[in-house]
Each structure stands twice: as C-alpha cells, then as structure tokens.
Amino acid sequence: MKIATFNINGIKARINALPEWLDEAQPDVVLLQEIKSVDEGFPREIFEDRGYSVETHGQKSFNGVAILSKLPLEDVTRGLPGDESDEQARWIEATVMGDTPVRVCGLYLPNGNPCPGPKYDYKLAWMERLHARAQDLLAAEEPFLMAGDYNIIPQDEDAKRPEVWQQDALARPESRAAYRRILNLGFTEAFRARTHGPGHYSFWDYQAGAWNKDDGIRIDHFLLSPQCADLLRDCQIDKDIRAREKPSDHVPVWVELDA
C-alpha cells in the first residue's frame, strides 16, 4: 500500500499538476493539505474518474485537507478534537481497508509566524491537541499514521540554511520540543528511519530562486505508530515534481507499507 502526503497549495491552481503526478506515482492513498476550497468546490470528478474516492474537509480561501483513496475508507472524521471553537480545517482521519486496515490522519499544522504572537500560541496549542489525539490513537496498539505538512523543521540538517530559520516558528526550540514530545510517544518518523544526512527537503519557497539554489526545508512528515512502523518498506520524496509547470511549493512524500 502506497500512501502519500502532498501540500498542493490550492486545488484550483494544481488542477493539471496533481492529476499528472497521480497518474505517474499511482499512490493508493493521498493526504492533501491546503486545498483552499470549500467541500462543494472540490473537483471530485477528476479523481473519481481515476478510481479514487474523495473525502474533503474544506473551508473558504485557506487551509483545507482531503483524502483520496483507491481502497475503501471507513469511519471518516473531520477536525482535531480538543477545541470546539477552532474553525480552521486542518485535520481529517479515515481507516483504509487494505489487507491490513490502517488508520490515516492527514494534517496541516499551523505555520505559527510571526512569533511570538497569537499565531504562534495557536500553533503550540494545536500541537498540544495533536499530542492528546496521538496518545488516544496509540492506546489502540494498531497500525496508524499521522502525515502531512507539520510546518516543523525537525533538525538543522533538514534545512539548507538552518541559521536563517533559528527564530522562525518552524524551527525555534519550543516548536522542535513540541514536535519531539509527540514523536517520543513512540512514533517512527518514516523518512529518517530509512535516510540519513542533510540535503533532503520537501519545500522550496517560490521567492528568491530557492528551488534553483536547492534552498529547501523538510517540513512534510510521516509519523508511524509502532504497529505501522513494522509494516514500513520504503519512504521517499518526489523532489522532481518541484521543477515542473505551475508547481506547488511543496512536493509529495510517500511511504510504501506491507499492508
């Protein structure tokens, strides 16, 4: 089972690039972030025609997450528990019914800039809720994963120029500590389970020729529960997508599971 995560930065803007990548990469499941669309505006037919079922959790203009799946989905839920007043669409869950059922959580973690400030407070509060949800899901001791745009640069090796990110919400010590606290519940970060060293990124800013300079950061991650980590066969970043026509500023990351 191949599961991918991809921050597409607007479904309308990626109306050609996304199907093109799908046809090549042939993922069974895709967790999308930043669809920037309401549910009714999502172009489901493009994906249904390719054999995917479509589950969205959208909002107007910003944020929004979705799941595409060629395998049956069960028990779809929307929204991260822990704050009824939170209106931002950043979390969706479903169980993928392959040979081994896998619970998948697609997430778009708040950016948090500028920091300090209310947006940074929201980021840390959201991560606290993520920690709580992760604990609940781990208690089942079953295969599950949480993947998406974490807006976290875990270590200096995950940025081409770590020094410019030191005071940024994506890399400052409080952000990294909150991320590690979740990881330390017992998750395996899939990419680092298989690949070591610097030079691996999932985001390149549109500005200042970042792509041409390979001035990237790695902020899109797969966290696997222990039972899911046992199924891990591979994890890769589809870097080449970034060089195409009208690309997102993120590229897809995927895992292959023995499930």
- Which one, of 222, 66, 32, lies nearest residue 145 by Cα? 222
- Going from the C-alpha of 99 to that of each of 69, 94, 96, 231, the distances in angstroms are 14, 15, 9, 12
Among 2, 13, 39, 128, interactor with DNA by CB under 7 A: 13
Q: How far is the CB of 10 from DNA (least distance, A)?
A: 3
Contacts of residue 136, defined as CB under 8 A and 6 or more positions apart, other chains included, come to: none
Q: Which of residues 220-249 bind DNA (CB under 7 A)?
A: 246, 249
| Residue 151 is assigned to a ligand binding site | yes
Among 113, 155, 227, 236, interactor with DNA by CB under 7 A: 113
Return d(Cα 229, Cα 175) in angstroms, integer. 24
- Which one, of 156, 167, 152, 77, lies nearest residue 115 by Cα? 167
| Residue 157 is assigned to a ligand binding site | no
Binding flag, residue 36, DNA (CB under 7 A): yes
Residue with tokens 């500590």: 177
| Residue 149 is assigned to a ligand binding site | yes
Binding flag, residue 5, DNA (CB under 7 A): no
- Which one, of 155, 151, 156, 52, lies nearest residue 110 by Cα? 151
Binding flag, residue 155, DNA (CB under 7 A): no
Tell me the per-residue interface mask from 174 to 213 with DNA, x by CB under 7 A, - otherwise: -----------------------------x-xxxx-----
Q: Which one, 16 or 135, has the nearer CB to DNA?
A: 16
Q: Which of 28, 149, 158, 168 is the catalytic position?
A: 149
Side-chain-facing half-sphere of 47: CA atoms under 13 Å: 26
Query: Is 90 in contact with 107 (CB distance < 8 Å)?
Result: yes
Return d(Cα 49, Cα 53) in angstroms, integer. 9
| Residue 240 is assigned to a ligand binding site | no
Binding flag, residue 20, DNA (CB under 7 A): no
| Residue 249 is assigned to a ligand binding site | yes
Q: How far is the CB of 109 from DNA (least distance, A)?
A: 8
Provide the 3-class DSSP secondary structure of residue 178: helix
Q: Is 220 a known active-site residue?
A: no
Binding-site size, DNA (CB under 7 A): 28
- Which one, of 130, 112, 98, 121, lies nearest residue 2 by Cα? 98
Torsion angle (degrees, nearest 10) of CA 1, 49, 249, 91: -60
- Stretch in the footprint of DNA (CB under 7 A) among 5-13, 46-54, 185-193, 229-237: 5-13
Q: Is 230 a known active-site residue?
A: no
Q: Which of 52, 108, 120, 179 is the catalytic position?
A: 108
Binding flag, residue 62, DNA (CB under 7 A): yes
| Residue 131 is assigned to a ligand binding site | no
Residue with tokens 């493009």: 46
Q: Is 131 a known active-site residue?
A: no
Please give the positions annotated as active site. Answer: 108, 149, 250
State the residues that interact with DNA by CB under 7 A. 7, 9-13, 34, 36-37, 60-62, 110-111, 113, 119, 149, 151, 170, 203, 205-208, 217, 219, 246, 249
Binding positions for Mg(2+): 7, 34, 149, 151, 249-250
User: Which residues are documented as binding site?
Assistant: 7, 34, 149, 151, 249-250
